[in-house]
Amino acid sequence: MEARRYHPLSILFHLWKLAKNCIFFVIYLFVIKAGSDSSFIVYGRYIFGLAVGISICSIIFKWLTNKYVLDDRSFHLYKGVFNRSEQTIPFSKIQNVNRHISVFHRFFKMTSVSFETGMKGEDAAVKFDVISQAEADRIEAYVARINEAEADGSEEPTAPPKHAENEASPAIESESTAQERTIHFTPTKRDIIKASFTSLSFLVLIPVILSFYDKAKDIFNLEEKAGGILQNILSSKWLIAVIIIAFITVSVVFGMVRTFLKYGKYEISSDPERIYITKGVVEETVFSISKDRVQAIEIEQSMLKRWLGLAEVKLISAGSSESNKSMHEINSLYPFLPVKRAYEMVSEILPSYQVTHGMNRLPQKALWLRLLRPSWLWIIVTAGLFYFKPTVLKMKEVWWMLSVALLILVLVARVLDFLNTRYALNKHFIQMQKGSLTTTLFISKRDKIIEVKVTQSKLQKLLGLASIGTINRAKPVHHADVKDVPRELAGAFYRWYIGRRSEVIAE
């Protein structure tokens, strides 16, 4: 199999990125300091020109030298102009696949795709910056097919995909897989409206409104002095009211548009093997993950979402590339799912997961222990307040009030956390929920947990309590724990984890 270059448009893509990065320097060196002949600026221009030249050369050389090839079990990547490197990434190490279609890609009807592994470092993902959609579909389907074949234990998958010419006829296999997909969720108008209120995106314009109001007041005050006082006050009040209403409308619309752009075109679908999350109106991203690579699920609810009966479901995956800062957003199923639908969907798309509704609460004595535990935040803040004794709102001797207020806040948070903490341990799963204002429910399977621990402080020992914790693969590794569970449960938890040997398959 011959190694292939990446798509020629990737040169243009990188040039485009380079241009975007240069804009600041161009404006500074050639527009703002246009007339300047200080040596700093003059040399700066030369250095800038040189840097751009080198970058352009390196982009072209990179395109010429960087190649890839797929064989029947791995990607081979060839890199480097002077230092050549060859990297082999087996398909079996790929955790999830990410596509991002930016405006640039949309314009050329291309896409970018990255196959993400659980490795550390920069080369953790096989990334195609620009690739035709058909080719991306083909590679993705091919990788998925081989991994499935390997999982089934069947021998020799089909031959590697033939590299069709770019923009050739759409791949047949990708179409056939697309047909099997069931769509689990697409947001309705109501969902988007709810989402835009829950995400509070309409509040973004409030600072703008306030500053405008300030200015408006000044203007009207000036007029007041000039003309008929009464009438002007009336009219300005009317005007202000009109302006406020207008701004509220604008900000609500603005918030909705923002939410629509972000969450409008959302689609959660799955076929028997994989889960797909598609989102974005202008810039589209597609996240796909094989079902058995989902390390854990997290269901998160902020206070607002709890009131509105919404929840966010996140899939925890072991793979992500370093460049992907917004990973936690990408792996999220729709963040504003109605709670009931969220639970239904988890069991729909991940039939091997069962969410138990009846979870156990902590024993009463855990509450006392939690209330008694010293709060370092409170101690440090109180010590600071005691020393500085600040005056607040022109009142002296209020430092102890602030301290008491903070203590009450800390204790209320602890009581809320106690009330929200639940746990359940059934045959193959563990469920742990905690949080004071925002609650997080963590669900994982026994064979996906890579380590467990039980800790017990002296006080906990006295009260017959203990803390349990798990570690899951993710990037960075995911820790989850519940504090102050009954000691018996901690023992059961240990035994439960030891039982994983029965379900783990050895190679």
Partner 1 sequence: MQSPLELPQQQLSKDAVKVWIISELITNMIGFVILAVLLFLDHLYSWKEWIGWILIGFTILSVISTIWSMINPFLLYRSWRYDVSEEFLQLKSGVMVEKHQLVPMTKIQSVATKQGPLLRKYGLCSLSIETMGSSHAIPALPKEVAVALRNQIAHYAKIKEVES
218 binds partner 1, rule: CB under 8 A = no
Q: Which of 457, 463, 481, 486 binds partner 1 (CB under 8 A)?
A: 457
Output the smallest distance, CB 493 to partner 1, in A.
Answer: 10
Output the smallest distance, CB 444 to partner 1, in A.
Answer: 13
Q: Which of 290, 321, 403, 421 binds partner 1 (CB under 8 A)?
A: 290
H-type alpha helices, 166-228: 172-180, 189-198, 206-226
Q: Where are the beta strands (DSSP E) in 280-425?
A: 284-290, 294-301, 310-317, 337-338, 360-361, 422-425
CA distance 316 to 294: 6
Q: And the tokens for 99?
A: 């596509």
The four Cα atoms 192, 198, 204, 207 give a dihedral, to 10 degrees, of: 140
* Residue 79 · residue 69 · CB < 8 Å: no
Q: Which is nearer to partner 1, 309 or 363 (CB)?
A: 363
Q: Which is nearer to partner 1, 256 or 297 (CB)?
A: 297
The binding track of 380-399 with respect to partner 1, each residue x by CB under 8 A or -, is -------x------------
325 binds partner 1, rule: CB under 8 A = no
Q: Please give the helix or strand (H or E) that residue 116 lies within, else none.
A: strand 110-117
Can you say whether the dihedral through the CA atoms of 419, 358, 434, 190 is positive or negative? negative
CA distance 400 to 253: 45
Q: And the tokens for 149?
A: 């074949």
The tally of CA atoms less than 13 A away on the side-chain side of residue 421 is 20
Q: Which of 19, 51, 151, 234 binds partner 1 (CB under 8 A)?
A: 151
Q: Which of 109, 352, 455, 464 binds partner 1 (CB under 8 A)?
A: 455
Q: How many residues bind partner 1 (CB under 8 A)?
A: 34
Q: What is the DSSP letter of 157?
A: -
DSSP-derived pairing of the beta strands 360-361 and 429-434 = unpaired
CA distances from 340 to 66, 240, 308 (A): 49, 43, 12
357 binds partner 1, rule: CB under 8 A = no
Count of other CB atoms within 10 angstroms of residue 434:
20
Q: Which is nearer to partner 1, 376 or 387 (CB)?
A: 387
- Over its C-alpha atoms, the chain yields an Rg (Å, rounded) of 29
CA distance 143 to 290: 11
144 binds partner 1, rule: CB under 8 A = no
Q: Which is nearer to partner 1, 19 or 498 (CB)?
A: 498
Output the smallest distance, CB 292 to partner 1, in A.
Answer: 5
149 binds partner 1, rule: CB under 8 A = no
The residues in 482-501 that bind partner 1, with binding defined as CB under 8 A, are: 487, 490-491, 494-495, 497-498, 500-501
Output the smallest distance, CB 343 to partner 1, in A.
Answer: 24
Output the smallest distance, CB 439 to partner 1, in A.
Answer: 24
The residues in 84-123 that bind partner 1, with binding defined as CB under 8 A, are: 92
Q: Which of 99, 100, 434, 473 binds partner 1 (CB under 8 A)?
A: 473
Output the smallest distance, CB 394 to partner 1, in A.
Answer: 25
Q: Which of 466, 480, 482, 485 binds partner 1 (CB under 8 A)?
A: 466
* Residue 254 · residue 205 · CB < 8 Å: yes
Binding site for partner 1 (CB under 8 A): 92, 151, 290, 292-293, 387, 450-458, 461, 466, 471-473, 477, 487, 490-491, 494-495, 497-498, 500-501, 504-507
